[in-house]
Amino acid sequence: MPYYEKSEDWLHQSALLLQARPQTTRVTTSYFLRPAIRPSKAEKLAAKEARRAKESASKSTTTSKSTTKSTPAPAAPTTESTDATSTATQKPPRGHLVLKTFDPHSGVCLKYKTSKAAEVGRLIQMLGQLGRRMAALPVDEAKEASQAADVVMGEAAEEAKGEVSGTATPAGGTSTPAAGGAAGGGGQGKKKKKGKR
């Protein structure tokens, strides 16, 4: 399954999936850590350093032509290579976060991936919203609609609500104007951002 570009899209689709299959749907949040430089790359760097050091050492040995000086020369590249690897490890590891909504009965899998720390709070808030749906608590749709409308998807939300639950149509009707207004606000925000860039 492809990843969603925007977290709001992911939230919306996950909410719909939960509405359809509340009993079996689960939301998984995976936090991955990877080393900043992969070992192969680090090794390559180290190898490069070692090679250079060897070349310089061989030059120095050819100029000096003394066996006593050549013995410490092989030791030098090894220390340099260890330095290189240590600098590689000093870089902090990179992390990324994958949110996945999965329903084993229908096989639907919705994913969202991010590596921004600033998004974590918002994403957990989204998990909370989904949690409310899981717990079958009443969901204040106007609030969610305003949040979901950062992406311009008011119309899509209308259609989806209409399709999924006929009983919820009055609530959907009331929430639509709010969604439209919020969508306008979202649009303005985007324009501002573009202007800044």
Partner 1 sequence: MGHLTHDEFFSKLTELFDYRKNQDHGTINLVQKRLSYNTPSQSTETDLLTDLCPSTPLPVLIRATNAKGKDRRKEKVKLSTIIEPADLEAFYGRYADVCKKGMGALKPRDRTKRKKQSRKKKAPTAGGPGVGAGGSSMMAIP
- C-alpha 7/C-alpha 20 separation (Å) is 20
Using the 8-state DSSP alphabet, how is residue 189 labeled? H
Shortest reach from residue 152's CB to partner 1, in Å = 24
Part of the chain binding partner 1 (CB under 8 A), chosen from 2-10, 27-35, 58-66, 178-186: 27-35
Place of tokens 């090894």: 78
Nearer to partner 1, 69 or 191 (CB): 191
Give every CB contact of residue 19 below 8 A, 6+ residues apart in sequence: 133, 164, 165
Total residues contacting partner 1 by CB under 8 A comes to 43
111 is a contact residue toward partner 1 (CB under 8 A): no
Give min distance, CB of 7 to partner 1, in A.
14
- Token reading at 196: 């800044």
Residue 115 interacts with partner 1 (CB under 8 A): yes or no: yes
| Beta bridge pairs of residue 42 | none
The residue range among 45-53, 66-74, 123-131, 154-162 that interacts with partner 1, by the rule CB under 8 A, is 123-131
The answer to whether residue 34 forms part of the interface with partner 1 (CB under 8 A) is yes
Q: 71 or 89, CB closer to partner 1?
A: 89
d(CA 54, CA 122): 52
Tell which residue, 147, 90, 97, has the closest CA to residue 117. 97
Residue from 1, 3, 6, 29 touching partner 1 (CB under 8 A): that is: 29
Helix, strand, or coil here: 137? Answer: coil
Classify residue 93 by its DSSP letter.
P
Element (H, E) at 113: strand 108-114
Residue 140 token pair: 């204040």
170 belongs to the binding site for partner 1 (CB under 8 A): no
Contact between 97 and partner 1 by CB under 8 A: the answer reads yes
With CB under 8 A as the contact rule, the residue among 1, 47, 75, 120 that binds partner 1 is 120
68/163 with CB nearer partner 1: 163
Place of tokens 């850590």: 33
* Residues 112 and 3 sit within 8 Å (Cβ to Cβ): yes
| 22 near partner 1 (CB under 8 A) | yes
Binding site for partner 1 (CB under 8 A): 19-20, 22-36, 89, 92-97, 114-118, 120-121, 124-125, 127-128, 130-132, 134-137, 196
